């Protein structure tokens, strides 16, 4: 019997085999691309541009290479196949938005270095007085507040995880196992949901905003982005809280153990340090600069770099330069640099013009509602295969905006729908590093994850549609 099973297993191709088959097909397309017949309105190098981009998306999807290595590969392949010069392909590393991403990652490292994130968390949790239902709401609210300070969903999960474990330990005797399940879901999903709430809510959102300007000529302001995306985000967070209370009921009322724990942890932090106060002042100043951009005309990137320099000035110095360099994930700028190179390759290869003509021929007859629903469902389905939201946005947004530009609807409107759909990484542990971290702790099962994730995915789709057709046009983002 066992030998028969072994024989059957040997006949089944492994996942790795499928990945290499996909890679082989993509490489075949790449090497054949210079010899393919060129459609009208496309440049001779158009197929090569498409082939390189498709290979990059395939590698990001299958994880055969680290995302940053794939990014470097794309930057090299565009010159090799004559789509761009190497100078053009690599020039995107000097784009203004790359500096914004680096600045925000350094500010986030300073938040963790000073402990300001934990002070914010326990200050908010103390307000619940140990009420478990309010504790869950407070965990969600803390995750939301941290979005203003940490531009990275995984970073926010890392901050929230020890806080949630303390909550679970302190309330285990009175709250039961549902406290652990609900708390873990709260800290897992909130950072993902909030990624698109602010233009700096995630490095992916920063990159997307820059693509809108590069490809569509539309410049996002900090406040306007918030006006467009924040109401939907808050509605989804409320649904998350209600869904957790419904699926994992907890005892109502105050619990002295929880209240005592929050007070004890807050006292451990001691009085607010000079470093924490300084960093808080710097953040207030930064957000003030962002929200008053129309007055002083300083770009979001310039304001961020201006403020981040203060982290290293003697007398203020909140962290050492070497420490900051070690904490920043330098693969992120490489990813987005490759994304910009993809967008430029599409333009240089005539892919934008060609796809715009295709979109005009096949999409213009579709109602805006059908387009929006189709895009939400397709992107949500593609999101299942991506572990990294950054890689998902870097690979998909240039393609989505290219097609949006050729449709009969407002491409900025359609692009924001696509971005909202990119945040639907809720269904499986593999869709997010943060989810894999909490799932590995064993507080919830994959079936429970799928159940909560399905509710959230449906919520994102419905609320995005409602906002896109009813709310966005009222604040100056029309459908057409």
Q: SS3 sequence, the chain?
A: CHHHHHHHHHHCCCHHHHHHHHHHHHHHHHHHHHHCCCCCCCCCCHHHHHHHHHHHHHHHHHCCCCHHHHHHHHHHHHHHCCCCCHHHHHHHHHCHHHHHHHHHHHHHHHHHHHCHHHHHHHHHHHCCCCCHHHHHHHHHHHHHHHCCCCCCHHHHHHHHHHHHHHHHHHHHHHHCHHHHHHHHHHHHHHHHHHHHCCCCCCHHHHHHHHHHHHHHCCCCCHHHHHHHHHHHHHHHHHHHHHHHHHHCCCCCCCCHHHHHHHHHHHHHCCCCCHHHHHHHHHHHHHHHHHHCHHHHCCCHHHHHHHHHHHHHCCCCCCCCHHHHHHHCCCHHHHHHHHHHHHHHHHHHCCHHHHHHHHHHHHCCCCCHHHHHHHHHHHHHHHHCCCCCHHHHHHHHHHHHHHHHHCCCCCHHHHHHHHHHHHCCCCCCHHHCHHHHHHHCCCCCCHHHHHHHHHHHHHHHHHHHHHHHHHHHHHHCCCCC
Q: Which residue has the tokens 């085999």?
A: 17
Q: State the chain's mean pLDDT as an integer.
A: 81
Residue 2 has pLDDT above 60, yes or no: no
Model confidence at 94, in pLDDT bands (50, 70, 90)? Answer: confident
Residue 173 has pLDDT above 60, yes or no: no
Model confidence at 5, in pLDDT bands (50, 70, 90)? Answer: very low
Residue 455 has pLDDT above 90, yes or no: yes
14 compared with 270, residue with greater pLDDT: 270
Most confident of the following: 175-179, 285-289, 293-297: 285-289
**How large a percentage of the chain has pLDDT more than 90?**
13
* Arithmetic mean of pLDDT, 263-289: 83
Residue 135 has pLDDT above 90, yes or no: no
- The answer to whether 202 and 108 are in contact (CB under 8 A) is no
Residue 350 has pLDDT above 60, yes or no: yes
315 compared with 285, residue with greater pLDDT: 285
421 compared with 9, residue with greater pLDDT: 421
- The answer to whether 341 and 84 are in contact (CB under 8 A) is yes
* 156-169 confidence digits (pLDDT tens): 887 788 778 777 77
Residue extents of the structural domains in the chain: 21-94+330-475, 96-327
Closest CA to 401 of 413, 383, 387, 384: 413
- CA 195-410-214 angle, to 5 degrees, is 65
Model confidence at 134, in pLDDT bands (50, 70, 90)? Answer: confident
Distance CA 83, CA 226 (A): 37
């Amino acid at each position: 019997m066992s030998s028969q099973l072994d024989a059957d297993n040997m006949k089944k191709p492994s996942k790795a085999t499928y990945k290499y088959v996909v890679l082989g097909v993509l490489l075949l397309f790449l090497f054949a691309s210079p010899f393919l017949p060129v459609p009208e309105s496309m440049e001779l190098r158009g197929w090569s541009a498409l082939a390189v981009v498709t290979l990059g998306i395939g590698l990001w999807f299958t994880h055969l290479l680290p995302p940053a290595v794939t990014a470097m590969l794309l930057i090299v392949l565009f010159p090799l196949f004559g789509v761009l010069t190497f100078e053009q392909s690599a020039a995107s590393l000097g784009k203004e938005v790359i500096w914004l991403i680096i600045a925000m990652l350094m500010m986030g490292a300073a938040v963790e270095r000073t402990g300001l994130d934990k002070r914010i968390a326990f200050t908010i949790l103390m307000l619940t007085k140990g009420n478990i239902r309010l504790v869950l709401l407070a965990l969600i609210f803390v995750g939301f507040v941290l979005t203003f300070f940490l531009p990275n969903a995984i970073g926010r999960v890392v901050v929230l995880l020890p806080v949630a474990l303390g909550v679970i330990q302190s309330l285990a005797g009175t709250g039961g196992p549902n406290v652990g399940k609900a708390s873990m879901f709260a800290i897992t999903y909130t950072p993902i949901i909030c990624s698109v709430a602010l233009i700096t809510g995630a490095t992916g959102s920063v990159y997307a905003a820059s693509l809108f300007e590069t490809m569509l000529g539309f410049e996002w302001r900090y406040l306007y982005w918030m006006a467009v995306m924040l109401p939907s985000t808050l509605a989804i967070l409320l649904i998350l809280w209600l869904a957790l209370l419904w699926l994992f009921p907890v005892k109502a009322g105050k619990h002295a153990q929880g209240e005592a724990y929050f007070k004890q942890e807050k006292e451990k932090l001691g009085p607010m340090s000079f470093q924490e106060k300084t960093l808080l002042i710097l953040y207030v100043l930064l957000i003030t600069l962002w929200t008053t951009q129309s007055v002083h005309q300083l770009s979001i990137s310039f304001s961020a770099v201006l403020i981040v320099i203060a982290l290293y000035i003697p007398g203020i110095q909140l962290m050492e330069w070497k420490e900051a360099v070690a904490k920043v994930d330098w693969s992120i700028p490489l990813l987005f640099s490759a994304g910009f190179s993809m967008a430029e390759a599409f333009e240089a290869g005539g892919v934008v013009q060609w796809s715009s003509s295709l979109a005009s021929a096949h999409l213009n007859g579709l109602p805006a509602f059908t387009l929006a629903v189709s895009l939400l469902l397709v992107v949500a389905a593609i999101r299942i295969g991506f572990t990294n939201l950054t890689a998902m946005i870097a690979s998909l947004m240039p393609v989505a905006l290219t097609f949006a530009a050729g449709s009969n609807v407002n491409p900025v409107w359609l692009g924001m729908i696509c971005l909202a759909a990119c945040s639907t990484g809720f269904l499986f542990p593999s869709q997010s590093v943060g989810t894999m971290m909490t799932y590995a702790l064993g507080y919830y099962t994959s079936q429970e994850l799928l159940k909560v994730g399905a509710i959230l995915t449906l919520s994102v789709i419905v609320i995005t549609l409602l906002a896109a057709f009813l709310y966005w046009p009222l604040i100056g983002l029309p459908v057409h």
